Amino acid sequence: MKIYIDGEYFDKDNACISVFDHGLLYGDGVFEGIRIYSGRAFKLKEHIKRLFMSAKAIRLDIPLTEKVMEETVTESIRINGTENGYIRLVVTRGKGDLGVDPAKCPKASVIIIVADIELYPEEYYTKGIKIITASTRRLHPDGIDPRIKSLNYLNNILAKIEAAQAGCMEAVMLNKEGYVTECTGDNIFIIYNNVLLTPAPACGILNGITRQTVIELAESTGVETASTFLTQYDLYTADECFLTGTGAEIIPVIMIDGRVVGNGEPGRVTGKLMNEFRATYMPRNFS
């Protein structure tokens, strides 16, 4: 494994950053997770665009242009010889001092990790998973805008701990008004009366790239979609439920807070969208 750090490639054991990097000290930075299918990065332009938008929002100057960043990610895939895998692209504020002042960090650092990933065993894609509702609430947009994909994931981690303690793989998070937002690392969808529903961006979600891809696939195959405000009641009474994310792709949910979803098996629309996603992007017909 060769890891890119600020223009150089290092072996895994020798890939290091300074203990004074503000990404480590304060979670000051942004990142993207990107899938690799058939040797190419999935929706690379969209991911790089979102990375730069996140950076702009926190006044972080990335020392590469969007075009050069795309080329560097592609080169990292080639150097690692990866056909199917995962990219973690990180931009930190860089090395500074022990104060939080970002002005003390003269240059941002760019890190590209190309690796394998398997968030869920294959059987979960055929049988579905169980999730809970976390007591940890999603951070409100008046604090940190959820569209900023920052390095500070403590809010999500606390909800993930709750899921693990409940014996589940994931937890859905509510906002302070009690509306459904997203899970700790995935967007959430339900199907009710043959309509595909997902929380609206105004609920306080990261507008996931896989989320948007699934909405487009659904609409192209005649499935009605809507981004709206959902409550736990909507989750409990849904006909189907699934999660989407770069790592998870599309994974069915069969139980929420002990309530069986539908008939307790991955639903028809979920299966249709999983098949469409795989046929379109995995691993051939990549676009």
Is 49 one of the annotated active-site residues of the chain? no
Question: Which of the following is catalytic: 149, 160, 176, 272?
Answer: 149
**How many angstroms separate the CA atoms of 123 and 128, rounded?**
8
**How many angstroms separate the CA atoms of 118 and 67, rounded?**
29
HEC string of 254-272 equals: EEECCEECCCCCCCHHHHH
CA 37 to mean position of chain CA atoms? 16
Q: Give SS3 for 72.
A: helix
Q: Contact at 8 Å (CB) between 240 and 191?
A: yes
- Which residues are paired to 174 by β-bridges? 180
Handedness of CA 138, 229, 251, 222 (dihedral sign): negative
Nearest Cα neighbor of 249 from 210, 204, 199, 207 is 210
Handedness of CA 110, 115, 120, 125 (dihedral sign): positive
Tokens at residue 184, please? 């700790």
Whole-Å CA distances, 215 to 104, 202, 212, 225: 42, 17, 5, 7
Q: Contact at 8 Å (CB) between 148 and 30?
A: yes
Strand 109-115, strand 85-92: pairing: antiparallel
- So which residues are the catalytic ones? 149
